């Protein structure tokens, strides 16, 4: 009894000792279509990782190529069908003698923009033919004998190098493929063919030999690749495997997740509806594949039930997910009276529900973001069902995408075109995840890479906004310091009685001019010294006028001060006429010895109108009246720029804030939100008082998902 290759049906031998050539050719066709048919689906992941690696290594951002790759992936089923048709067509052509040239690349006039495409195809054909030369030579001789039995002229190999290159070109001829993406696709195609062709050519040669068309072959002996090819292939293989290999989990994080599950189980036992549901009559646990089918059924459906749950009570989202899954299972024929989810599946549902609820409780996510997050619930349930690493691995693609979306949406009221673009891009990405995610996490990585490109621009704008906020805050502090110093000086000058016009001049235009001099030139500058001298000279002139004995000396003093007084009045915004009138009134008052002279009231400090919006956050009265822990205040003083905190605003909304700047003048901390906008300026003692009141939490995680998971753990511990 003869041994036949795997998958080959027994074919009767003819009088010549060979099998029916038509049936042999049909069997070769079946095997070829079967093994080669899935090749197009293997092209996208290596290309995607090559593009991402290029960007990560500091190359140009490959946003256009990644977008085009996503569109190709969305049409993958059509490309697979077209490619299989091209492979099958090669065998039809072999029998009908349509092609009789050495290569099988289509020979026709092509446009210039397609010329590189065809040249790359020819190079691909040459590379395959060189690498698999022995196997192709053996197969060619045997196919010639087969053609002779079919009473045909020997033709080209239907699965030869040229024909396979032509099949690729015809499959993707009309695809919108950027110029820089084409060589990457050809390289991935060559790599996938190299992986498949060794087994295919071996099986076909053995089949032909068994059918009487030559001795059994020992398998192809491709020429050894060059060192450059080895290095390139190893690098590309590593990129492809990055997302598929088991991720390294920190033992401490894994232990925390085990503790998290223990706390989750303890929490679940306290829920009556959960305990009773699992204590009913024995029911079969749904397999993961069955639950995945249910989730796939529900994934494209309306997320309204999840949107409503996100705005409800804690735990409502997990209940909505579980109810939705039960209904979906019923629609697929799994009666809930006889089936149930496993403990691991229940864990995944509860953790996803709590994670999304924690994000909304921990971050200022506005109402228009609820639908976006509601749309993502089912895809993340599917991820959690098969890969619970999403809860413990910070570099997990699905987790990184959720972090990026939260960063883009937090506090985003779509008030500017840039903010609207972020929201719209996140919405489009959530729709793409729903449409494309099956089992391959690469869709999350691609979406994250796309959103990260836009977020980098956003972060640069945030940095500029933070710098402007710091500059404005420092300017306000310098202004307040200058005003306080000017008030002290005026208070000192008002220790003796002066005429009303002199006091009014010192309290208003001179005080304002002193503040401006301190800001522009600083204390100790010549301008500052001259301004102080003007105040002293006016007091001296008032003393001379009060005695009425030395009119000439008084007149000389006023004449010497005229320019300085005019300059001081001009700095207050008075025009020449108003300044002249003010100067005349001042001189007239000093010319009257009997004018009343009284102690002047110290002017009230000028309020900072620009900082009025911070009134509810600034704690008045100085640090003496603040109720705070000195140790907490000392801890606050150790905060550094870039550290994240959690703050409850006056409305009770949790806001992620960052220490953007520390004042070198007052030591106050400028806290900004993720959009770079000022939220609070406070001293260490004020921050300590807020922490004691439960309004401030130090040590918040930078990544939103990390912070949400911490909030989730705290919630479980508190409930237990």
**Is a pLDDT exceeding 70 seen at residue 548?**
no
Pairing of strands 644-648, 654-662: antiparallel
Distance CA 39, CA 200 (A): 12
Output 648 or 16, whichever has higher pLDDT. Answer: 648
**Is a pLDDT exceeding 50 seen at residue 28?**
yes
Q: What DSSP letter does each residue of 39-81 carry, written as one string?
A: GGGGSHHHHHHHHHHHHHTT----HHHHHHHHHHHHTHHHHHH
Helix and strand totals (H; E) in the chain: 27, 9
Mean pLDDT value of segment 113-122: 67
Distance CA 623, CA 636 (A): 14
**Is a pLDDT exceeding 70 seen at residue 230?**
no
In 3D space, the residue among 10, 6, 21 whose CA is nearest the CA of residue 95 turns out to be 21
Q: What is the model's pTM?
A: 0.56
pLDDT at 247: 56
Mean pLDDT value of segment 79-106: 70
Mean pLDDT value of segment 504-525: 89
pLDDT at 352: 94
> What is the rounded average pLDDT for all residues in the chain?
79
Q: What is the pLDDT of residues 612-661, one digit of tens each?
A: 444 344 443 344 456 778 888 888 898 888 888 888 877 777 788 889 99
Q: What is the pLDDT of residues 381-403, one digit of tens each?
A: 999 988 877 888 888 899 999 99
**Is a pLDDT exceeding 60 seen at residue 174?**
yes
State residue 46 phi and psi, 5-degree precision: -65, -35
pLDDT at 438: 81
**Is a pLDDT exceeding 50 seen at residue 331?**
yes
**Is a pLDDT exceeding 80 seen at residue 119?**
no
pLDDT at 248: 52
Q: What is the pLDDT of residues 416-456, one digit of tens each?
A: 888 888 998 999 899 989 988 887 888 898 899 889 888 98
Tokens of 407: 């960063």
**Is a pLDDT exceeding 60 seen at residue 155?**
yes
Q: What is the pLDDT of residues 457-495, one digit of tens each?
A: 888 888 888 889 889 888 888 898 899 898 888 888 888
Mean pLDDT value of segment 552-573: 80
Output 178 or 583, whichever has higher pLDDT. Answer: 178
In 3D space, the residue among 695, 625, 623 whose CA is nearest the CA of residue 666 turns out to be 623
Q: What is the pLDDT of residues 281-328, one digit of tens each?
A: 578 888 888 888 899 889 888 899 999 998 788 889 999 999 999 998
Let me know: does 582 contact 569? Beta carbons within 8 Å.
Answer: yes
First to last CA, the chain: 70
- Beta strand ranges found along 587-653 (DSSP E): 597-598, 644-648
Mean pLDDT value of segment 66-79: 83
Distance CA 110, CA 172 (A): 15
| Cα 55 to Cα 51, 63, 186, 447, distances in angstroms | 6, 9, 20, 14
**Is a pLDDT exceeding 70 seen at residue 14?**
no
b/e map of 527-559 (b: 16 or more CB within 10 Å)? ebeebbebbebbbebbebbbeeeeeeebeebbe
Mean pLDDT value of segment 137-141: 88
Please give the CATH number for the structural domain made up of 610-702.
2.30.30.140
Domain boundaries, the chain: 21-242, 251-465, 495-598, 610-702
| Cα 32 to Cα 85, 109, 141, 300, distances in angstroms | 11, 30, 18, 35
Let me know: does 443 contact 432? Beta carbons within 8 Å.
Answer: yes
Q: What DSSP letter does each residue of 94-111 carry, written as one string?
A: HHHT---SS--S--S---
Q: What is the pLDDT of residues 286-295, one digit of tens each?
A: 888 888 889 9
Residue 273 confidence class, pLDDT cut points 50, 70, 90 = low
pLDDT at 444: 92
pLDDT at 439: 79
Residue 61 confidence class, pLDDT cut points 50, 70, 90 = low
pLDDT at 252: 61
Residue 356 confidence class, pLDDT cut points 50, 70, 90 = very high
pLDDT at 115: 59
Residue 373 confidence class, pLDDT cut points 50, 70, 90 = very high
Distance CA 707, CA 697 (A): 12
Let me know: does 282 contact 337? Beta carbons within 8 Å.
Answer: no
pLDDT at 608: 59
Q: Give the bridge partners for 696, in sequence order.
A: 647
Q: Count CB-CB contacts under 10 A for residue 402.
A: 24
Mean pLDDT value of segment 116-132: 79
pLDDT at 55: 67
Output 52 or 468, whichever has higher pLDDT. Answer: 468
**Is a pLDDT exceeding 90 seen at residue 669?**
yes
State residue 343 phi and psi, 5-degree precision: -60, -40
In 3D space, the residue among 684, 690, 689, 589 whose CA is nearest the CA of residue 649 turns out to be 690
Residue appearing with tokens 């010497």: 560
**Is a pLDDT exceeding 50 seen at residue 609?**
no
pLDDT at 116: 61
**Is a pLDDT exceeding 70 seen at residue 81?**
yes
**Is a pLDDT exceeding 70 seen at residue 599?**
no
Residue 175 confidence class, pLDDT cut points 50, 70, 90 = confident
pLDDT at 135: 87
Share of the chain above pLDDT 90, in %: 11
């Amino acid at each position: 009894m003869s041994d036949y290759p795997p998958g080959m049906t027994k074919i009767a031998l003819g009088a010549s000792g060979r099998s029916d050539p038509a049936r042999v050719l049909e069997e070769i066709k079946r095997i070829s279509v079967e093994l080669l048919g899935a090749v197009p689906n293997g092209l996208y992941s290596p290309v995607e990782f090559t593009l991402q690696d290029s960007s990560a290594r500091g190359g140009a951002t490959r946003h256009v190529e990644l977008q085009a790759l996503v569109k190709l992936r969305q049409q993958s089923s059509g490309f697979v069908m077209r490619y299989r048709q091209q492979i099958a067509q090669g065998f039809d052509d072999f029998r009908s003698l349509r092609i009789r040239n050495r290569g099988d690349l289509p020979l026709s006039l092509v446009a210039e923009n397609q010329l590189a495409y065809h040249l790359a195809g020819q190079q691909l054909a040459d590379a395959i033919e060189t690498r698999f030369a022995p196997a192709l030579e053996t197969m060619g001789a045997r196919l010639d004998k087969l053609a002779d039995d079919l009473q045909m002229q020997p033709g080209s190999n239907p699965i030869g190098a040229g024909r396979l290159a032509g099949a690729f070109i015809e499959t993707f001829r009309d695809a919108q493929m950027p110029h820089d993406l084409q060589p990457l696709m050809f390289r991935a195609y060559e790599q996938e063919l190299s992986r498949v062709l060794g087994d295919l050519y071996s099986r076909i040669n053995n089949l032909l030999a068994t059918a009487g068309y030559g001795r059994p072959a020992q398998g192809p002996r491709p020429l050894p690749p060059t060192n450059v090819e080895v290095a390139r292939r190893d690098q590309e293989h590593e990129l492809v495997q990055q997302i598929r290999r088991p991720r390294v989990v920190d033992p401490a994080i894994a232990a925390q997740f085990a503790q998290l599950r223990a706390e989750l189980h303890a929490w679940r036992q306290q829920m009556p509806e959960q305990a009773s549901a699992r204590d009913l009559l024995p029911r079969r646990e749904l397999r993961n594949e069955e639950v995945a089918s249910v989730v796939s059924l529900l994934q494209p459906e309306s997320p309204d039930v999840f949107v409503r749950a996100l705005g409800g009570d804690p735990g409502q989202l997990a209940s909505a997910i579980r109810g939705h899954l039960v209904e979906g299972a019923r629609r697929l024929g799994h009666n809930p009276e006889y089936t149930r989810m496993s403990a691991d599946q229940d864990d995944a549902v509860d953790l996803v529900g709590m994670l999304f609820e924690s994000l909304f409780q921990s971050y200022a996510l506005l109402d228009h973001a609820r639908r976006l997050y509601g749309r993502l619930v089912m895809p993340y349930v599917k991820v959690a069902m098969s890969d619970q690493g999403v809860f413990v691995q910070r570099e997990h693609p699905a987790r990184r995408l959720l972090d990026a979306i939260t960063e883009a949406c937090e506090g985003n009221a779509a008030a500017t075109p840039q903010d609207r673009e972020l929201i719209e891009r996140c919405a489009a990405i959530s729709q793409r995840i729903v449409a494309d995610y099956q089992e391959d996490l690469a869709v999350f990585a691609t979406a994250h890479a796309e959103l990260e490109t836009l977020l980098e621009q956003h972060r640069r704008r945030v940095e500029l906004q933070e710098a402007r906020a710091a500059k404005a805050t420092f300017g306000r502090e310098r202004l307040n310091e200058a005003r306080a110093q000017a008030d002290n000086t005026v208070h000192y000058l008002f220790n003796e009685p002066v005429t009303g016009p002199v006091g009014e001049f010192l309290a208003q235009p001179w005080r304002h001019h002193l503040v401006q001099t301190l800001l522009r030139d600083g204390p100790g500058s010549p301008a500052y010294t001259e301004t102080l001298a003007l105040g002293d000279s006016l007091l001296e002139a008032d003393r001379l006028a009060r005695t009425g004995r030395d009119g000439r000396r008084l007149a000389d003093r006023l004449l010497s001060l005229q320019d300085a007084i005019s300059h001081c009045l001009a700095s207050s915004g008075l025009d020449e006429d108003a300044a002249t009138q003010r100067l005349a009134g001042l001189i007239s008052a000093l010319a009257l010895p009997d004018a009343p002279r009284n102690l002047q009231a110290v002017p009230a400090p000028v309020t900072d109108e620009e900082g009025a919006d911070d009134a509810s956050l600034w704690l008045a009265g100085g640090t003496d009246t603040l109720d705070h822990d000195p140790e907490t205040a000392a801890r606050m003083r150790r905060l550094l720029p870039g550290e994240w905190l959690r703050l409850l605003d006056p409305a009770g909304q949790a806001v992620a804030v960052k220490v953007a700047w520390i004042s070198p003048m007052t030591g106050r901390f400028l806290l900004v939100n993720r959009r770079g906008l000022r939220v609070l300026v406070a001293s260490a003692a004020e921050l300590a008082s807020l922490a004691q009141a439960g309004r401030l939490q130090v040590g918040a995680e930078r990544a939103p998902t990390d912070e949400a998971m911490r909030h989730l753990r705290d919630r479980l511990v508190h409930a237990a």
